[in-house]
Amino acid sequence: MAERVGRERVLRATVRTLAEKGFARTTARAIAGTGGFAPGVIYYHFEDMDDVFVAAMRHTSRARMRRYAAEVDDATTATDLLARLRRLYDEDTAEGHIAAVQELVSAANAAPRLAAEVRAETAVWQEFTERVIDRQIGGTVFAALVPVPELARAAVAAYLGMQMLAHLDADHSGVHQLFDAAATPAAMLDAFKNDDE
């Protein structure tokens, strides 16, 4: 019976439970309740709850990364990229990814294995952001102003911080205003790159 419920279904239920109930109330019983399976299913796939949280962190991070990579690879201009990032941010919120990650990041302070996983996923996002920024400003004068790795680190940190604050507020209008405000520099960057060609 247990083996019919897949590992991924357990992880999806874990992410949803984290987002809805917070870390402290994300017990095996609560996850099973969310997913509609017996608690035993969880221990069929995972050693212990620590193991579940580490896998959930990786699962939600990688699933979002696939979406981000697909969207960002298709972006033609900085303006187009910005529109895509805005939609991705809204997806992050709607799917409970933001809320779940925030719970896991907080919990990681008291859970060394989870902390290592959060660090590893953060590094993956920083590398991804580096490539995205590099594709936009590489070879332009802007790349000489601030090193791309540091810019990527700041961007990932800002994204995490904004999500934290927006989640606390249950108000994402501030983040949307920031996307609006970025339209002018994005358009300028596009104009600058066209002039250059």
What does the binding site for a second copy look like in residue numbers (CB under 8 A)? Answer: 22, 24, 102-103, 105-106, 108-110, 115, 118-119, 122, 145-147, 150-151, 153-154, 156-162, 164-165, 167-169, 174, 177-178, 180-182, 184-185, 188
Residues 6+ positions from 147 with CB-CB distance below 8 Å: none
Nearest to 10 by CA among 27, 29, 30, 32: 32
Give me the least distance between CB of 175 and a second copy, in Å please: 9
Shortest distance, position 6 Cβ to a second copy, whole Å: 30
- Which of helix, strand or coil describes residue 47? coil
Shortest approach of a second copy to residue 73 CB, angstroms?
A: 25
Nearer to a second copy, 22 or 33 (CB): 22
Nearest distance from C-beta of residue 188 to a second copy, angstroms: 7
Q: Which is nearer to a second copy, 32 or 99 (CB)?
A: 99
Place of tokens 């294995």: 113
Between CA 156 and CA 109, with CA 27 as vertex, the angle to 5 degrees is: 40
Identity of the residue numbered 188: M
- 9 vs 167, beta carbon nearer a second copy: 167
Query: How far apart, in whole angstroms, are the C-alpha atoms of residue 141 and residue 137?
Result: 8
* Residue 153, helix vs strand vs coil: helix
> Which tokens sit at 121?
């996923």
Q: Which residues lie closer than 8 Å to 25 by C-beta, 6 or more apart?
A: 17
User: Which value, to the nearest 10 degrees, does the dihedral of the CA atoms of residues 8, 13, 17, 23 take?
Assistant: -30
- Looking at the Cβ atoms of 5 and 99, the one nearer to a second copy is 99
Residue 11 or 175: which CB sits closer to a second copy? Answer: 175
User: Least Å distance between CB 193 and a second copy?
Assistant: 16
**Residue whose CB is less far from a second copy, 42 or 156:** 156
CB of 40 to a second copy, least distance (A): 28
